[in-house]
Amino acid sequence: MSDASVPAVELRDVVKRFDDVVAVDHVSLQIAPGEFFALLGPSGSGKTTTLRMIGGFELPTEGEVLIEGEPQGYKPPYQRPVNTVFQNYALFPHMTVAQNIAFGLEMRGVPKDEIRRRVGEMLNLVRLSGYEKRRPHQLSGGEQQRVALARALINQPKVLLLDEPLGALDLKLRKAMQLELKAIQEQVGITFVYVTHDQEEAITMADRIAVMNHGRVLQVGPPPEVYEQPRTLFVADFIGETNFIPVEVLRVGSTVEVLTAGGARLQAGWAEPSLNAGAPAVAAVRPERMWLHRPNTAPEGGPWNRVEGIVRHVIYHGLDIRYEIHLAGECSLHVRLPVGRGDADVFQRGEHVIVVWPSEATRVFRRDS
Amino acid sequence: MNDALRRYPALRAWLLLAPSFLWLLLFFIIPLGIIVVYSFLQRDVYGGVVWKWSLDNYRRVFDPLYFKTFLYSLWIAFLTAFFSLLFGYPLAYFIATRPEKTRNALVLALMIPFWTNFLVRTYAWLTLLRTNTGLINVWLMQWGLLDKPLPLFGNTFAITLGLVYGWMPDMILPIYAALEQIDHRLLEAAEDLYASGWQVFRRVIWPLSLPGVVAGTMLVFIPSLGAFVTPAILGGGKRLMIGNVITNQFLGAHDWPFGSALSVLMMAVMLLATLVYFRTGGDRAGQGGL
């Protein structure tokens, strides 16, 4: 069954409407067996509804959900080979940890001895041995999270659905659980479909990310690709930090050239295909790709973009220093430079500087996208 | 003064509690004390009280005549609680699963009939249930569905019906409150873990609503045990509950000491029932983490 050529989960042109609201708008996805797949988007982007349609908690208005090549049709959750880790865990408050974890097996009539053995194994896996008799309210957030994971994984689902599983944890615990979840996923080899609004979480954990907004999937790809080659303004903005410079398109085609409001000409590595010369657009550059130079040391020529500006803020961050550079034409850029390259390279507030970055790191988007 | 209050939070608590404490002392604890004292005294021939200690009243309580009435009252209270739960739970569940706006409207609808005086509503039942002139029997006979009127009045059925009608909101509201608090995701989680509809109810909804069921049952059982208006009207003077006997001792027979003894016994039974019930059902309900 787990033939690598058959996707673990496939969505074919799935639409979900609630009354007049389109929550999910013609989404098609293929998730490979064993993959850690993240659905990333802001609240209301349709990511949770998409997950719920895979789980069977919602049925698609149009289109089809397939699990291991099998159309799921109107099957209720308990007939699908998937299990869910719910937001806020949804642990049964009146049951012990062991009873919670055993619930799924008990409902399927698995013999008591086997249940006991497998509950023990699961507690081991999530490092909660000895917690059998505790009740959920006696556990910390991280422990509850692990019980929820064990309660789902004990059923050996083909696909595990996780709905913002770390959302309720504080930052430090969340980081620790990210690593732990990833390790568990690699150990059990089950396909994970992971809903989150936290782009950092998606980038650190997922094999591939689908970025969603307004019910649509805007881009699907491995984290480096989504981060470095965003294909819409929304993706560039939502994932990581980005500088946006309003520009006018001068030339598209094999080389892309744009003009800033301050009158600087910039070369870009990529432009949205629908852009034509003369169109208003936005040039996007990641702050860590930019460098600062004093006017006399700036490189001339080569594959570089250059704009002049004035240092407005200098913020020390430990690993790096962040500069806010004011450009002509009511625009400012954020630049990050590593610390510790000598005092000569620390710029002062009010200093006149040239911002330099590789032209291939420049991506041009439509303003309205 | 202010400093003293700040330094001794317990003093502040006591000051805040003083008014309600005084109220309870004057109008609850002292009258209760009087009843307990009376129950050990004797009546005089004119309906007054003679200050002579005696246990005669308690001996009389166990006279089969009164004791049977007592057992009958327990039976009625049990039936009332049982049927209130049987009919009230589904209704509470229905209300709790509606959208919020509908929910509030339904709870209000539930309360509206109770803005009318209880006596009036009980008489309304009388016009429906009376054996020969009650609307139900009259209509059923007019339509030729019956030859003889149904025994709808002056019996256990009529009293239980009246009490269930009167106390059902006290069953519904706590159950509704408990059901409403159940996180919807728990039901989805159970469904996700292969539970059928019945299993979701049996394993998740019911145990989590137990605190409401326990509270509701007590709220219905206790007033039903002491009821006297409903049995007086719908019992047609034929079936008496202990509440009627007590009323009669105070208002008719002018035997306050004996009436007091019956009251004390009834309170003792209620207290015992409450303790036993919370020990068993209450403990299990406590697992709901509430």
C-beta atoms of A78 and B188 within 8 A: no
C-beta atoms of B185 and A77 within 8 A: no
Q: B287 vs chain A: nearest CA distance in angstroms?
A: 5
Listed as ranges, residues in chain A with pLDDT below 50 are 1-2
Specify the length of chain B in residues: 290
C-beta atoms of B193 and A107 within 8 A: yes
Q: What is the mean pLDDT of chain B?
A: 89
Q: What is the pLDDT of residue A254?
A: 82
B281 touches chain A (CB under 8 A): no
Q: What is the pLDDT of residue B1?
A: 63
C-beta atoms of A77 and B192 within 8 A: yes
**Residues on chain A touching B288 (C-beta within 8 angstroms):** 93-94
Q: What is the pLDDT of residue B76?
A: 95
Full DSSP string of A243-270? EEEEEEEEE-SSSEEEEETTS-EEEESE
Domain map of chain A by residue range? 9-234, 241-366
C-beta atoms of A78 and B208 within 8 A: no
Q: A81 vs chain B: nearest CA distance in angstroms?
A: 10
Residue B40 lies in a domain: no
Q: pLDDT tens-digit profile of B118-173?
A: 899 999 999 998 888 888 888 888 888 888 888 888 899 999 999 999 999 999 99
B198 touches chain A (CB under 8 A): no
C-beta atoms of A77 and B188 within 8 A: yes
Residue B271 lies in a domain: yes
Residue B65 lies in a domain: yes
Closest chain A residue to B191, measured at CA: A78
Q: Which residue has the higher pLDDT, A3 or B44?
A: B44
Residue B276 lies in a domain: yes
**Residues on chain A touching B203 (C-beta within 8 angstroms):** 92, 103
Non-local CB neighbours of B107 within 8 Å, separated by 6+ positions? B95, B173, B176
Homologous superfamily (CATH) of A241-366 is Nucleic acid-binding proteins (2.40.50.140)
CATH of the domain at B220: 1.10.3720.10
**Residues on chain A touching B287 (C-beta within 8 angstroms):** 94, 135
CB nearest A90 (choices: B186, B196, B199): B186
Q: What is the pLDDT of residue A46?
A: 94
HSE of B125 in the Cβ direction (CA atoms, 13 Å)?
A: 26
Q: B62 vs chain A: nearest CA distance in angstroms?
A: 44
| Residue B237 predicted with pLDDT over 50 | yes
Residue B242 lies in a domain: yes
HSE of B81 in the Cβ direction (CA atoms, 13 Å)?
A: 20
| Residue B105 predicted with pLDDT over 60 | yes
Q: What is the pairing mode between strands B42-43 and B49-50?
A: antiparallel
| Residue B108 predicted with pLDDT over 70 | yes
Q: Which residue has the higher pLDDT, A162 or B115?
A: A162
Q: Which fold has domain A9-234?
A: Rossmann fold (3.40.50)
Residue in the structure block whose two tokens are 């620790």: A176
Give the total number of structural domains in chain B: 1
User: What is the separation, in whole angstroms, between the first and last Cα of chain B?
Assistant: 39
Q: pLDDT tens-digit profile of A126-176?
A: 989 999 999 999 999 889 999 999 999 999 999 999 999 988 788 888 888
Q: What's the whole-number mean pLDDT along residues B208-221?
A: 93
Q: How far apart are CA A129 and CA A145, in angstroms?
A: 15
The helix or strand, by DSSP H or E, that contains position A323, with its residue range, turns out to be strand A320-327
For residue B75, give its domain range: 58-288
Residue B246 lies in a domain: yes
Q: How far apart are CA A55 and CA A75, in angstroms?
A: 9
Q: pLDDT tens-digit profile of B71-88?
A: 999 999 999 999 999 999
Q: Encoding tokens for residue B29?
A: 């604890």
C-beta atoms of A78 and B183 within 8 A: no
Q: What is the pLDDT of residue B285?
A: 45
Q: B195 vs chain A: nearest CA distance in angstroms?
A: 6
Q: What is the pLDDT of residue B146?
A: 80
| Residue B252 predicted with pLDDT over 70 | yes
A134 touches chain B (CB under 8 A): no
Residue B141 lies in a domain: yes
Model pTM score: 0.80
Residue B6 lies in a domain: no
**Residues on chain B touching A152 (C-beta within 8 angstroms):** 192
Q: What is the mean pLDDT of chain A?
A: 91
